[in-house]
């Protein structure tokens, strides 16, 4: 998660990597402006819904899930894990703290169940009829759909006429104490290459960060979307504010 990579950089664990290969293979919003970490695999944190009880036309944005239409229908993962901390940090970047607090308050008052420990449980709760709509990382949906292709869930891409779907990365950097700098730099370059990106994306059901690499057919069957282009360093910079807001509105 970019929030964790940002922390590693801030604590001085990572050293800058100056590489034209990395900067040309990886879009700028998915890497550290100071070149200490680089996103290598992209996931969207998006809306998942019950195809039995929700029409895609009922959905629009993340903030819309705070409206009373969704009362006792929303299920989400705990605020204690970095994924939702990063999502909220990026919402703060997009909407500011006051507006984000309102969104979170709405989410909390719409909850159909206390927050779950992971994204898979969120989807299982929707399948079981406990809730109708949730927010998850795309690859967890992929894992569940692989086990059961008839899963009664679908993904929705919110914020398509505004800021775009929130994305995050798995990524890497080179530790400051590295004894094998040249090899580490070469390895990072290779991980961003078309060949490695293809392998990576086929295995983990995520999206390649390198725009020249096609999305795996299973993943592309979920549809394409406009992604939020705010730099992921905001996931780290706004993390403390995100945790404070979630705490303040009683999002456990
Ligand atoms: Fe995960």
Count Cβ atoms within 10 A of the Cβ of residue 239 and give its class: 0-12 exposed, 13-18 middle, 19 or more buried. Answer: buried
Distance 203 CA to ligand 1 centre (A): 14
Distance 202 CA to ligand 1 centre (A): 16
Count Cβ atoms within 10 A of the Cβ of residue 1 and give its class: 0-12 exposed, 13-18 middle, 19 or more buried. Answer: buried
The pLDDT tens digits for 172-209 are 999 999 999 999 999 999 999 999 999 999 999 999 99
Q: Determine the Cα–Cα distance for residues 170 and 129; give it in Å rounded to an integer.
A: 32
pLDDT of residue 127: 98
Q: Which two tokens stand for residue 184?
A: 């580490």
Q: Determine the Cα–Cα distance for residues 171 and 183; give it in Å rounded to an integer.
A: 17
pLDDT of residue 225: 98
pLDDT of residue 151: 96
Distance 39 CA to ligand 1 centre (A): 15
**For helices 239-248 and 2-10, angle between their N-to-C axes, nearest 10 degrees:** 120
Distance 86 CA to ligand 1 centre (A): 13
pLDDT of residue 117: 98
The pLDDT tens digits for 129-163 are 999 999 999 999 999 999 999 999 999 999 999 99
SS3 content of the chain, % helix, strand, coil (to 5): 45, 15, 35
- Answer for the pair 164, 227: CB distance below 8 angstroms, yes or no: yes
Total count of residues recorded for the chain: 252
pLDDT of residue 145: 95
Q: Which two tokens stand for residue 163?
A: 């800021």
The pLDDT tens digits for 22-36 are 999 999 999 999 999
Say if pTM beats, i.e. exceeds, 0.85: yes
Helix (H, G, I), strand (E, B) or coil at 38: strand
Average pLDDT over every residue of 67-81: 97
Distance 122 CA to ligand 1 centre (A): 13
Q: For the ranges 59-63, 101-105, 200-204, which has the lowest average pLDDT?
A: 200-204
Query: Alpha-carbon Rg of the chain, whole angstroms?
Result: 18
Distance 126 CA to ligand 1 centre (A): 19
Q: Which two tokens stand for residue 132?
A: 């109708």
Distance 23 CA to ligand 1 centre (A): 25
Distance 1 CA to ligand 1 centre (A): 9
Helix (H, G, I), strand (E, B) or coil at 125: helix
CA angle 146, 151, 40 (to 5 degrees): 40
Q: Determine the Cα–Cα distance for residues 220 and 223; give it in Å rounded to an integer.
A: 6
pLDDT of residue 68: 97
State the chain's mean pLDDT as an integer: 97
């Amino acid at each position: 998660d970019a929030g964790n990579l940002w922390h590693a950089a801030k604590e001085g664990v990572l050293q800058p990597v100056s590489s034209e290969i990395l900067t040309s293979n990886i879009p700028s919003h998915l890497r550290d402006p100071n070149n200490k970490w680089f996103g290598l695999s992209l996931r969207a944190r998006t809306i998942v819904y019950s195809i039995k009880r929700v029409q895609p036309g009922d959905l629009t944005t993340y903030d819309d899930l705070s409206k009373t239409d969704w009362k006792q229908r929303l299920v989400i993962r705990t605020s204690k894990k970095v994924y939702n901390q990063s999502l909220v940090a990026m919402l703060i970047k997009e909407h500011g703290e006051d507006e984000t607090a309102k969104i979170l308050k709405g989410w909390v008052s719409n909850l159909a169940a206390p927050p779950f420990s992971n994204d898979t449980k969120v989807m299982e709760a929707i399948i079981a009829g406990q809730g109708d709509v949730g927010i998850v990382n795309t690859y967890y949906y992929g894992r569940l759909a692989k086990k059961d292709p008839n899963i009664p869930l679908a993904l929705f891409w919110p914020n398509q006429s505004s800021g775009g779907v929130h994305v995050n990365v798995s990524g890497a950097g080179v530790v400051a104490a590295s004894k094998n700098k040249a090899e580490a730099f070469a390895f990072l370059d290779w991980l961003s290459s078309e060949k490695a990106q293809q392998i990576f994306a086929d295995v983990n059901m995520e999206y390649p960060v390198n725009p020249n690499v096609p999305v795996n057919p299973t993943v592309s069957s979920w549809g394409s979307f406009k992604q939020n282009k705010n730099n992921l360093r905001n996931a780290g910079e706004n993390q403390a504010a995100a945790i404070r807001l979630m705490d303040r509105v009683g999002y456990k």
